[in-house]
Structure 1
Amino acid sequence: MHCFTFVAVSILVFTFTLSASDALTTNMTKNLKVLVSSNDFAESGIKILEEHFTVVKSRYFGFNEEGLNENMQELMNLIPGCSALIWISHHPITKELLDKAGPQLKIVATASAGYNNCNVPELKARGIKLSNTPNVLSAAVAEIAVSLMIGAARRFTENLDQVKRGEWEGIGFQNMLGQDLRDSTIGIVGFGGIGQATAKRLVGFEVGKFLYSGHRERPEAKNFGAELVPLDTLLSQSDFILLSAPLTDETRHMINKTSLAKMKKNAIIVNVGRGDLINQDDLYDALKNKQIYAAGLDVTTPEPLPKDNKLLTLPNCFILPHIGSATVRTRNDMAELAAKNVVNALYGRALISPVLP
């Protein structure tokens, strides 16, 4: 009993000491500035940052033309003297912006899983830490991946057009027939968090088998009976091909005229990774000529896709406006993780999700 009391008191004293130390440190860090690069960052992330630092937020949207013009100029004005940058944008971080920041910039925390627009070589050369927000968005993106598979396989683009025109061709017994997920072969390029979360959701659709490609075997693949195969094998055997790989020099335009020619005629390709994983001109030709069955895209190049883009003329291409992680819960989780990475970096602690630790 006495031993238990001693341990309990010790824990309380230790907890109090840590809390008092953190409070003292927080008072000392209030003079550190954190720049939030877009006016739509979730409030839950802002609150975490404001507990520790002075938060400076852009008045402008970090995306589209506004992100490239008004917002970028605003950031150039606000970033001098900042110790951290929360990056919410599909535009790249420029060398000029980092020059404006000055040497006290310690971390860039991107509120996304992908970080191909974060100028990694430049950050590394300057000794600036980089974090991202993987895993917290896997479930939401997986839901969109499955939605795109269904949408492309069941010809949503054509069928929605029928509803708008009031001409329901699908009423006929042999009209507007689609493809089944049941008993199909699913090939996943990028069997990380999103790829695995998608496989988990597809199990309930009674798919036939899973294939995946990559540089190494994934222990988690055993949970799905998924088989590691060369990319060419995956392309030639899969009914559905999911791209959930990061964009790198190796993966850029990995889907092109040559790789499309290896796919089945009934193949459906789905992209939830980055637009530049696919050469869109080659994809257009393959879809137009019915070389493959259909495509479902949540990411494109550029974003937004211009309304006169030729992919939008195809009945067998189902496109969404990059909404993979767009749920209230997921965007809050992403904002909070980005904010916590900043807190850890500026307190000298290890990053939670490091890219450049």
Structure 2
Amino acid sequence: MKKPYVFITRKLSEQIVSSLKEKYDVNMWEHESTPVPRETLLNEVKKATALITMLSEKIDEELLEAGRNLQVVANLAVGYDNIDVQAATKKGIAICNTPDVLTDTTADLTFALLMATARRIIEAAEVVKKGEWKSWSPFLLAGHDIHHKTIGIVGMGSIGEAVAKRAKGFDMNILYHNRSRKPEAEKSLGAKYCSFEDLIQQADFIVCLTPLTPDTKKLFNREAFNKMKKSAIFINASRGPVVDEKALYEALVEGEIAAAGLDVFETEPIGADHPLLSLQNVVALPHIGSATRETREAMMQLCVENVDRVLSGKSPKTLVNKAWEKQKV
């Protein structure tokens, strides 16, 4: 009997993939840093029973239509805005993601980005490396305090709550806006629920951790930045398209806000000639929110387990499209 065929769209840890190879016919794209070409992916999905994908792959209706034997797509990320979940559900394909295992790691990076932006750490390091540090002076690279300031978290999921825990350690006043209230977070962290408008007007640090949906696309636009404090620092560690980057650039140049720390962008990788990268008050990172070896390997392991469970006739651990399970029954 022919083994199910699993295609992995990026080179992953051989040690983790080996468990799949014992049971299935596995093929893995040979490059770690270069995305699989669309044409190659379309050819591979024609044979595939399962895919393990990255955010860089667009799993749209065309690709799902080509994957006539496809049973499961395991996405190496919490987000799945690269996947047409509705189309997959109609075709009886399970969609899985990797939540929880990256919560603390992403929260660490988010708070590190906030600190680097507020205290101008990247600028300061460059001054030393370039030999431009000539003497001490009272306002040399003076940034902004973090402790006892107000943080506003937009998107209070598990990562948002983990960021709030870190903020509490800095004695920060914690505001949050979310689709639903989080009574436990309010009780344990002293977080206060407020409207989006109140949050952006009151917070010293606005941290975006919301998923990308039609409602959140370009949520942070010119109007939003205009309502923020001139001393406000904006941090985005969610998805690039929730921000109107032209509006952000203009807000930073015109002094409507003080600075921005960005781990995600509308188009990734961002071009070196992008206007935002020309600004000293922008700290830009290459989408490394969950990028520690331990966490990335845990994400890979979860993808592998989800694929194996579906191909073995079981429910995956982290199913996105709950309707798939109902169809299965």
Change (3 A) 1:186 1:170: farther
Q: CA deviation at 1:83?
A: 1.2
- Aligned: 1:72 with 2:32: no
Please tell me whether the aligned partners of residues 151 and 207 of structure 2 are also in contact (alpha carbons under 8 angstroms): yes
Please tell me whether the aligned partners of residues 55 and 77 of structure 2 are also in contact (alpha carbons under 8 angstroms): no
> C-alpha distance in 2, partners of 1:113/1:236?
29
Please tell me whether the aligned partners of residues 58 and 75 of structure 1 are also in contact (alpha carbons under 8 angstroms): no
- Aligned: 1:59 with 2:25: no
Please tell me whether the aligned partners of residues 44 and 336 of structure 1 are also in contact (alpha carbons under 8 angstroms): no
Q: Which residue of 2 aligns with 1:308?
A: 273
Q: Which residue of 1 aligns with 2:320?
A: 355
2:8 counterpart letter in structure 1: V
> C-alpha distance in 1, partners of 2:225/2:319?
35
Mapping 1:211-222, distance limit 5 Å:
211-221=175-185, 222=187
Change (3 A) 1:44 1:188: farther
> C-alpha distance in 1, partners of 2:96/2:228?
36
Q: Which residue of 1 aligns with 2:327?
A: none
1:55 counterpart letter in structure 2: V
Q: Which residue of 2 aligns with 1:249?
A: 214
CA deviation string 1:285-342 (max 9, x = no partner)? 0011111111000111211111111101111111111111111100010001111111
Alignment counterpart, residue 164 of structure 2, candidates 195, 199, 203: 199
Q: CA deviation at 1:140?
A: 1.0
Alignment counterpart, residue 47 of structure 1, candidates 18, 24, 41: 18
TM-score, scaled relative to structure 2: 0.92
> C-alpha distance in 1, partners of 2:131/2:286?
25
2:123 counterpart letter in structure 1: E
Identity of aligned residues (%): 37
Q: CA deviation at 1:150?
A: 0.7
1:81 counterpart letter in structure 2: K
Number of residues paired by the alignment? 321
Please tell me whether the aligned partners of residues 202 and 228 of structure 2 are also in contact (alpha carbons under 8 angstroms): yes
Q: CA deviation at 1:107?
A: 0.9
SS in 2 for 1:234: helix
Q: CA deviation at 1:199?
A: 1.5
Who wins on radius of gyration, i.e. which is larger? 1
> C-alpha distance in 2, partners of 1:233/1:170?
42
- Aligned: 1:231 with 2:196: yes
Please tell me whether the aligned partners of residues 80 and 97 of structure 2 are also in contact (alpha carbons under 8 angstroms): yes
For the aligned residues, what is the CA RMSD?
1.8
Q: CA deviation at 1:156?
A: 2.6
Report which of the two has the higher share of helix: 1
1:220 counterpart letter in structure 2: E
2:120 counterpart letter in structure 1: R
> C-alpha distance in 2, partners of 1:44/1:136?
18
Alignment counterpart, residue 48 of structure 2, candidates 72, 82, 106: 82
Change (3 A) 1:44 1:332: farther
SS in 2 for 1:337: helix
> C-alpha distance in 1, partners of 2:242/2:220?
6
- Structure 1: gaps (5+ residues): 1-27
Alignment counterpart, residue 186 of structure 1, candidates 131, 139, 151: 151
- Structure 2: gaps (5+ residues): 323-329
